[in-house]
Amino acid sequence: MIETINFENVKWLHILNPSEEDFSFLLKEYEFHPLDIEDCRSVNQRPKIDEYDDYYFLVLHFPFFDKAGKFVRIKEVKIFWGKDYIITIGRSHWVVQNLFNDIQKKKQENSEDLSEIVASSDILLYHILDRLMVETYTLILRVQSEVDTINFEIFTKKADKVIEKLSVTRKNIISLNTTFKPQIRVFHQFESGGIKGYEEDMEEYWGNILDQYQKMLDMVEDYGELIEGLSKTFDSLQTNMTNEIMKTLTFISTIMLPLTLITGIYGMNVSLPYMEKEWAFGAIVVLMVAVVIGFFFYFKKKKWM
């Protein structure tokens, strides 16, 4: 189904779940390249921008959290950009749908500030990208919050929860990195003038988009380094804790060994010296206590405890 908003200088066609009839309409009315239409039929395209004589075709990737709010997923945003139209097609990021609905509502209400958004196809494209950037930045701030939480919790004893959060956050950061890095080249084409567009004086707008994207990429890379450092710190803490446990158990085993030897000897069913004496049991107990105290002071002297 093709939803359309018409304005004086530009129109926006939004096709959420395109059918073959919709694809045929685009081929006939706009004469798009068949390969671009084929890209719209498929998923998992690489980020790119194809330039033609009378239009551009963009495939961009933007992250979002899954329904559980745990893992980062990626949505493709496919846009045909002409001099007097913008066409968003496919199951785009929900931000695109929300912006389309907002503009449609403002048009029905004859909102005064709508003219700034739809002054041209270039300006409309900028607002679509800017809204996606804002949503992506919000997502990255949430990842930052998770990293800060891990930074605090690694010094607690909730090892299982910390391991889970470390694994999930590392996976999310890797997903963001693999999304951002290939796409930064696409936005560089805007800012460098490789993509001219249809309006003059758009350099500052495209530069703003690139600055936002570069800032988010830098943040993701910083969080990646930080999460790796936290992971190593957590591993060191767990290793040290394990060593402390093994050290304590070794002390106990070392102290128990001579006590076990003494009780083993005097527990044998044979005649031993002084076994018939009344003070024998007391003497053995005193000997065992003396052994324990001796080991304790020896460990203290060696600074093993």
Sketch out the chain's domains with CATH numbers: 2-239 (3.30.460.20), 242-301 (1.20.58.340)
Cα Rg, the chain, nearest whole Å: 35
Of 120-124, 153-157, 180-184, the poorest mean pLDDT is in 153-157
Mean pLDDT of 275-286: 78
Mean pLDDT, the chain, as a whole number? 86
pTM of the predicted model as reported, rounded to 2 decimal places: 0.79
Reply yes or no on whether the pLDDT at 112 is more than 80.
no
The helix-helix angle for 121-153 and 159-192 (nearest 10°) equals: 150
Mean pLDDT of 219-247: 85
Which of the listed ranges 136-145, 186-195, 234-243 does the model predict with the highest average pLDDT? 136-145
Which helix H or strand E contains 64, and what residues bound it? Answer: strand 55-65
Where do we find the tokens 């605090």? 152
For 46-69, write each residue's pLDDT tens digit. Answer: 899 999 989 999 999 999 998 888
Distance CA 9, CA 11 (A): 7
In 3D space, the residue among 221, 227, 89, 92 whose CA is nearest the CA of residue 162 turns out to be: 227
Which helix H or strand E contains 134, and what residues bound it? Answer: helix 121-153
198-216 in b/e burial notation, b at 16+ Cβ within 10 A?
beeebeebbeebbebbeeb
